[in-house]
Chains A and B, each alone.
Chain A
Amino acid sequence: SAVISQKPSRDICQRGTSLTIQCQVDSQVTMMFWYRQQPGQSLTLIATANQGSEATYESGFVIDKFPISRPNLTFSTLTVSNMSPEDSSIYLCSVGVGLDGTEAFFGQGTRLTVV
Chain B
Amino acid sequence: QKEVEQDPGPLSVPEGAIVSLNCTYSNSAFQYFMWYRQYSRKGPELLMYTYSSGNKEDGRFTAQVDKSSKYISLFIRDSQPSDSATYLCAMSPLGGYNKLIFGAGTRLAVHP
- Say yes or no: A101 contacts B96, CB within 8 Å: yes
- Say yes or no: B43 contacts A100, CB within 8 Å: no
Q: How far is the CA of A100 from the CA of B45 in the complex (A)?
A: 19
The residues of B that contact A109 with a CB separation of less than 8 Å are 41-43
Per DSSP, are chain B's interface residues mostly helix, strand or loop, or mixed? loop
The residues of B that contact A45 with a CB separation of less than 8 Å are 99-100
The residues of A that contact B43 with a CB separation of less than 8 Å are 4, 6, 92, 106-109
The residues of B that contact A31 with a CB separation of less than 8 Å are 97
- Say yes or no: A42 contacts B32, CB within 8 Å: no
Chain B interfacial residues counted at CB < 8 A: 25
- Say yes or no: A43 contacts B102, CB within 8 Å: yes
> Given A101-B96, A102-B32: A43 and B41 within 8 A (CB)?
no
The residues of B that contact A4 with a CB separation of less than 8 Å are 43
CB < 8 Å neighbour of B99 from A33, A103, A107, A108: A33
Q: Is A26 an interface residue (CB 8 A)?
A: no
CB < 8 Å neighbour of A106 from B6, B32, B44, B97: B44
Distance (whole angstroms) from the CB of A30 to the closest CB of chain B: 6
Q: How far is the CA of A30 from the CA of B98 in the complex (A)?
A: 12
- Say yes or no: B41 contacts A104, CB within 8 Å: no
Who on chain B is nearest to A56 by CB? B99
Interface residues of B (CB under 8 A from A): 6, 32, 34, 36, 41-46, 49, 88, 90, 92, 94-100, 102-105
List 3 A-B pairs, minimum CB-CB distance, nearest first.
A100-B95, A106-B43, A101-B97
Pull 18 A–B residue pairs with CB atoms less than 8 Å apart, ordered by A: A42-B6, A42-B88, A42-B102, A42-B103, A45-B100, A96-B97, A100-B95, A100-B96, A100-B97, A101-B97, A103-B46, A104-B34, A104-B100, A106-B36, A106-B44, A108-B43, A109-B41, A109-B43
